[in-house]
Structure 1
């Protein structure tokens, strides 16, 4: 175990900073237990890529990335057990080496498993990653270990816990046999792709839409399971396409000063990077996962019921297309689909949902990015829910209106952590807790 004292924690894009008294790097469950047991205030972090202020802000911090081992496999049950600090990309490589997959992959593979599960990370046309937990172990506030299986009634509370019920120690995932997807990509007018969502969800194994604000276009990506030996005519487009992030960085450099230029930049980026078609194949991981963030950025993401999405989309489009407002949005806005589950703090609690991401390429000026405010106002108005790891302003009063199990979760949190050991200032405000504990 390594220990550092009296330092400053800085998020990956330098938007969040916190001083700490002690920072630990651990490699064993016993070390994790001891630190949790003996700390008054504690938070755990990985690669610091959350846009919400959830990972730090406590006197004691644990850098969980060195707690990252694959502990066991079960070939007969297709399960893998890992420590919570393992990076998603490393987990996927270990699974694929066995000929397996977890059919839920987030858009980024550099996050830790513990952080991904705690914040409700999800994939595309699938479920939350937490829905594939078979069993797991948590370190509770008193340092004891709590084992939870998929059959345990409390699993639905622990699946998406924001790290406030305890510290995830180990997790066993249920895997499936690996499969190959035939991916087709191309642009469509908004009037074409929007009415086809339900039809495509039934027809395809994978559906993702990159909406291009201020262009009236969406970039539709579909995937169908095929025999891996099937030959297809691959079309990956011009090598120039790999420079999209670099072009975006240049075109958006001054849009925090001149927001209206975003609409022009979006049209240029559409012509250069989204106006053609592509076709390829690969595993879910190979074919559909971004794998890293090319540069620092800031993100917000909101979810809404599948039935309500068309209405919300049209309202959002109307608002941001008014030149009288300042909500000019960088492209793309990522539209994905999550099927209903029973996790208390899931975005898809008992309802099929659509998620819509919003990105600012100017991380340093994210606080003045009007799009984040407009998106939140519209989605909250219709009962939308924010992604826990991304930017939003809503607190206890708003969240209690959109999460049916919010109050139940708060009661359980208080029971398991009566001294608020796992709350930082951000979470204290989020749950409307008193600050004198």
Structure 2
């Protein structure tokens, strides 16, 4: 059986795919494995989930969505996707602080790779975690809460410390959001008013194809009730119909716009769960720099327009609040994320990544763990300042390197 990731650019090397139906079955499987990796929803674009041993899907574990109204948390099973959980939270009057652009991704996989949503006051999706259950290499089941010294390493754990069997997430009261889109924000206006623009909503995204001196679209998600959006704003024009961020794609796949208020879970993602947002004919990369250097970072990318645009579908700029999770891209710094959705041509894209990484080097850009990058391991280790500590912990918890694969062996300091 051939197993690929969602985009189809990675074919897994596993000798067998397992789908345990219980935590007990999973523990037995882990304890007896020489090599094992967990497969989430497959939305990573590199070999982070690959293995020559057992590839394990957690999708068949019993689905759990357990509310604790006393502590304001929810405990969920790891194989669930965000889109399967959030409507039930909303129906009970609760919300998560943030969501990614895709509700299709698994909760455990998103947290393990430092995946994020957007908003100057909103941390990564992993920053909502208050506890997790972890099966270590010997099959032991451990509960790790915020008071555990392992916690800041284990939440964004890259699957290197063990297998997460449940996550407990902090909740807030449910809220409504109104989403509007602006067209054609001049590039100069975006740089001059960057902070004002990015703080104008609960979550704000800038989209550009880097083909001209503009941002094609600005998506502004404001807490409802929100004032009527002005027709002209920072030189951009309010969209007269719903938009899709990728040119030529149907807006039917996107969450509701035009300022209509609606539940948080139906506005914070860009895309609707009931539609596949694209055909998978794409590659993705993302780099994170300190938010106070966002304008300088954008200016550096501007010098690469002629290299970026020919192999790009769309680029997105977002902000994320700082956290204390060791391998989070926002570890101890408020962050701006430069995201790139490329054409599906690895040979053409990789040289451009190297140029982007060189241009962003003065800003200590950190790569997204689940997306394509070409940085040398020593550079990644310098940017993720706790990576050596994390690697030492991984060796302690997994002395036989059961959870290691070539990706981790390449990037974790020895």
Instruction: Settle same-fold status: TM greater than 0.5.
Output: yes
Structure 1 residue 96 displacement after superposition: 1.5
Tell me the number of residue pairs that the alignment of Structure 1 and Structure 2 aligns.
392
SS in 1 for 2:394: helix
Structure 1 residue 104 displacement after superposition: 1.2
Q: In the alignment, is residue 111 of structure 1 matched against residue 105 of structure 2?
A: yes
Q: In the alignment, is residue 198 of structure 1 matched against residue 195 of structure 2?
A: yes
Q: Distance in 2 between matches of 1:68 and 1:428?
A: 32
Q: Distance in 2 between matches of 1:284 and 1:334?
A: 21
Structure 1 residue 421 displacement after superposition: 0.6
SS in 2 for 1:146: strand
Q: Distance in 2 between matches of 1:337 and 1:69?
A: 32
Q: In the alignment, is residue 74 of structure 1 matched against residue 72 of structure 2?
A: no
Q: In the alignment, is residue 367 of structure 1 matched against residue 347 of structure 2?
A: yes
Q: Name the residue aligned to 1:143.
A: 139
Q: Name the residue aligned to 2:300.
A: 315
Kindly tell me: are residues 380 and 53 of structure 1, through their superposed partners in 2, closer, same or farther at Cα, counting changes over 3 Å? farther
Larger radius of gyration: 1
Kindly tell me: are residues 221 and 248 of structure 1, through their superposed partners in 2, closer, same or farther at Cα, counting changes over 3 Å? closer
Q: Which structure 2 residues correspond to residues 8-407 of structure 1 after superposition, within 5 A?
A: 8-67=2-61, 69-125=63-119, 126-187=122-183, 188-218=185-215, 219-227=217-225, 237-238=240-241, 241=243, 247=248, 278-289=258-269, 290-291=271-272, 292-296=276-280, 297-321=282-306, 325=307, 328-360=310-342, 362-363=343-344, 365-369=345-349, 370-407=351-388
Q: Which has the higher helix share?
A: 1
Q: Distance in 2 between matches of 1:380 and 1:248?
A: 33
Q: Distance in 2 between matches of 1:284 and 1:174?
A: 15
Q: Distance in 1 between matches of 2:218 and 2:239?
A: 15
What do residues 223-279 of structure 1 show as CA deviations (whole Å, max 9, x unaligned)?
322249x9999997447x56x758369xxxxxxxxxxxxxxxxxxxxxxxxxxx943
Kindly tell me: are residues 19 and 224 of structure 1, through their superposed partners in 2, closer, same or farther at Cα, counting changes over 3 Å? closer
Match of 1:413 among 394, 399, 403: 394
Kindly tell me: are residues 120 and 21 of structure 1, through their superposed partners in 2, closer, same or farther at Cα, counting changes over 3 Å? same
SS in 1 for 2:181: strand
SS in 2 for 1:223: strand
SS in 2 for 1:90: helix
SS in 1 for 2:196: helix
Stretches of structure 1 that go unaligned for 5 or more consecutive residues are 1-6, 250-276
Q: Distance in 2 between matches of 1:68 and 1:409?
A: 30
Structure 1 residue 14 displacement after superposition: 2.1
Structure 1 residue 71 displacement after superposition: 4.4
Q: Distance in 2 between matches of 1:111 and 1:223?
A: 21
Q: Distance in 2 between matches of 1:227 and 1:237?
A: 20
Q: Distance in 2 between matches of 1:304 and 1:387?
A: 11
SS in 1 for 2:287: strand
TM-score normalized by the length of structure 1: 0.83
